[in-house]
Amino acid sequence: MAPGPVVFYQQLLGFLALAVYLTATGKLSGIRLRGKRKALMLLGAWHAGVMLSYYTAVSFTNVSISVLLLYTAPLYVLLIAPIFLKEKPGGKSLVALIISLVGVVIVIGPENFFISQAGFEPGYLFGVLMGLFAGFFTPVL
C-alpha cells in the first residue's frame, strides 16, 4: 500500500478513536478550541508529514534504516539547541554526536552516497533523505 493512504487512515482512525472515547466519557463538551484551532491543525499536518516521510523511507529503503533515521531526532536537537535555546553543547555531547553520525553513515552504507557507481539506486538515496526529514521534524511533535 502506498504511504499516502496508510498515513491518511492512520490519522483518521486515531481521530475517530479519540472522538469516540471523549464522547463515551462525556468529556467532548469540555474541550475548548478557541484560539488553538490553527495550532492543532498545524500539529496534525506536521505529524502527517513526518509519518508520510517515514513510510516513504520504509518503502524506498528498509525498516531498519528508516527506524534508525527516524530516531536521529536527538542529534538534530543537539545541533539546533545552541541556536534556539542558547545552550552550549558539552564535550561529551559533541563526541556522542560524531560517533552517532559516523554510525548512521556506516549503517546506511558509504557506497550509497556516490551517484557514479554502477548499480546505484536513486530510490535508496531518496528513501534515506525522507528518513532524515522524518528524524529532523520529529522533535517538534
Its domain, for residue 66, covers: 3-140
pLDDT tens digits, the chain, 141 residues: what are they?
899 999 999 999 999 999 999 999 988 877 777 888 888 888 888 889 999 999 999 999 989 999 999 998 888 888 888 898 888 888 998 898 899 889 888 888 877 666 656 555 778 889 999 999 999 888 766
Q: What is the Cα–Cα distance from 94 to 63, expressed in whole angstroms?
A: 28
pLDDT of residue 134: 93
Number of domains in the chain: 1
Task: Identify which of 101, 57, 64 has the alpha carbon closest to the alpha carbon of residue 79.
Answer: 101
Instruction: Please give the Cα distance from 65 to 16 (Å, whole number).
Output: 31
For the record, the C-alpha cell of 80 comes out as 539546533
Please give the grid coordinates belonging to residue 53.
Answer: 516521510
Question: pTM (2 decimals)?
Answer: 0.78
Characterise 119 by phi-psi region: left (phi > 0), alpha (psi -120 to 50), beta (else).
left
Tally DSSP H helices, then E strands, for the chain. Answer: 6, 0
The pLDDT of residue 74 is 87
Give the span between the Cα atoms of 138 and 131, in whole angstroms: 11
Q: Are 101 and 39 in contact (CB under 8 A)?
A: no
